[in-house]
Amino acid sequence: MVTSIANTIPCKKLYKLAVVGAGGVGKTTLIARIVTGQFIDKKMTVGFDVESWTVEDDETGCMKVAMFDFGGQKQFRFFQGSLIIGAKAALVVFDSCSYRSIIQLKEWMGLIDAIPDRQKLLVGTKLDINSEINHEEIQAYADEFGIEYILVSSKTGENFDILQEKLQTILKLIDG
């Protein structure tokens, strides 16, 4: 089980996690839900943001994760190549109601090419909204990229327990 704890507890293990995907898919809201457990309506991310998430793990103890939130809009692309350096894990985020955001995933997969596939997770947001895109179609994309995928709602919190467990498993693959 993953439990968010106060950021004041000293942590020996530090990780850099990249959160990438098109503008408006819900990256910043997803990060806020992971860190606070709440749905917080966010403004557009200008450039990038970093949120700190501290998790306590029964086996490894405390893990501190710097979640790099990449601004999705095109005007922020020019510096993102250098920002990705040192990231050992990635959440590749799309909007489960938007084909466009799924098609754009390819671009983001290029940016995180250096990260091993097993340390990436494809995350579809807005599961609370009725989507015309069926899960088989999403599965087909996930298979094409060769990475695991999960659908969540940052609004209701649906599947966040699974998301956090998967993230924790990924972090354990990395030497923090």
Ligand X SMILES: Nc1nc2c(ncn2[C@@H]2O[C@H](COP(=O)(O)OP(=O)(O)O)[C@@H](O)[C@H]2O)c(=O)[nH]1
| Closer Cβ to Mg ion, 29 or 168, answer by number | 29
CB of 76 to Mg ion, least distance (A): 10
Place of tokens 């450039």: 47
Among 54, 153, 164, 168, binds ligand X (CB under 6 A): 153
Q: What residues between 5 and 44 interact with Mg ion by CB under 5 A? A: 27-28
Q: Does 101 participate in binding Mg ion (rule CB under 5 A)?
A: no
Q: What residues between 9 and 68 interact with ligand X by CB under 6 A? A: 21, 23-29, 41-42, 45
Binding partner selected for residue 136 from Mg ion, ligand X, none, CB under the kind-specific 5 to 8 Å limit: none
Residue 121 and residue 149 in contact, taking contact as beta carbons nearer than 8 Å: yes
Among 51, 56, 57, 128, binds ligand X (CB under 6 A): 128
Q: Which of helix, strand or coil describes residue 33?
A: helix
- How do beta strands 148-151 and 120-125 pair? parallel
| Closer Cβ to ligand X, 23 or 176, answer by number | 23
Buried b or exposed e, range 23-54, using 16+ CB within 10 angstroms: bebbbbbbbbbbbeeeeeebeebeeebebebb
Binding partner selected for residue 104 from Mg ion, ligand X, none, CB under the kind-specific 5 to 8 Å limit: none
Q: Does 96 participate in binding ligand X (rule CB under 6 A)?
A: no
Kindly state the helix (H) or strand (E) to which residue 102 belongs, with its residue range: helix 99-103
Residue 97, token pair as written in the block: 């109601």
Helix-helix angle 27-36:160-172, to 10 degrees:
90
Binding partner selected for residue 129 from ligand X, Mg ion, none, CB under the kind-specific 5 to 8 Å limit: ligand X
Binding partner selected for residue 154 from ligand X, Mg ion, none, CB under the kind-specific 5 to 8 Å limit: ligand X
Residue 14, token pair as written in the block: 């530090």
Alpha-carbon gap, residue 11 to 28, rounded angstroms: 24
Q: Does 45 participate in binding Mg ion (rule CB under 5 A)?
A: yes
| Closer Cβ to ligand X, 11 or 123, answer by number | 123
Contact positions toward ligand X, by CB under 6 A? 21, 23-29, 41-42, 45, 72, 125-126, 128-129, 153-155
